Amino acid sequence: MTFTIAALVPSLLNTNGDAENAAVLAQRLRWAGHEARIVAVEDAADLPAHVDAVIVGSGSDSTLEPARARLLTMHDELRRWGTEGVPILSIGTGWELLSWGIETADGGIVEGLAVLPGRAVPRAEGGRITGDLVVRSPRFGHLVGFENHAREYVQAEASPLGRIVAGEGNGRGSSQEGVVMGWVLGTHLHGPVLAKNPALADAMLTEMATRAGVAYEPGEQTAVVDAFAAEARAAQLKAAGVALPA
């Protein structure tokens, strides 16, 4: 079979290369002996008949409204995918657009698609949060990446992706990062996150394969690439002053 990975609105939601998480999934599937294709979905007219995973990357505030308008054309599909258990990875403003809504620094409100709980609000202290981000997730282990955002995330404290080890994450003193609802994931982790965190990528791929009724076993080339990822992770953890248990 051929796995189909949909990258939603990549022309507007790929500021940090986060739409390329789709390429990570597709390549790991090919190394495992499966066929995979990536479909760039700019609006509902581009939607394939079936998807196995969905990536929603990050954009800039200048693209919030046009990106929201395009995602809104796929609102029913996003809700259905989330209910059915299709893995959906959303990052940065892409995640915020799937929330209840976004409050902007000038007092405006951008209504979200309400696929995920919580909302994005301006930082209480002002300014941007930038730097290394390390998260301990009960489902996916330690995750690394970098964060770059001017908003904090509230009202989703019951369902975080994980706890902060280094960085700010959702902010407001929550010590939490991201939000999870089933297989719908929202995070501030850029990188792209799946390239830096193979365990998270393989967890998504295993779920995709299980849903399709086939097996997923990482291929030989995957081990070579994962060794590079391990070195990058070790360097970032050291820079962030994080020592993991042996």
Q: Report the amino acid identity of residue 226.
A: D
CATH for 2-239 is: 3.40.50.880
Whether 188 sits among the annotated catalytic residues: the reply is no
128 is known to lie in a ligand binding site: yes
* Catalytic, out of 34, 149, 188, 190: 190
Q: Report the amino acid identity of residue 188.
A: H
Q: Give pLDDT, residue 227.
A: 96
Model confidence pTM above 0.85: yes
Q: Is the peptide bond before 192 cis (omega within 30 degrees of 0)?
A: yes
Ordered per-residue pLDDT tens for the chain, 246 residues:
899 999 999 999 999 999 999 999 999 999 999 999 999 999 999 999 999 999 999 999 999 999 999 999 999 999 999 999 999 999 999 999 999 999 998 889 999 999 999 999 999 887 899 999 999 999 999 999 999 999 999 999 989 999 999 999 999 999 999 999 999 999 999 989 999 999 999 999 999 999 999 999 999 999 999 999 999 999 999 988 888 766
Structure tokens at 60: 């800039």
Integer Cα distance of 23 and 173 in angstroms: 34
Q: Give pLDDT, residue 246.
A: 62
- Reference 174, options 190, 186, 161; nearest CA is 161
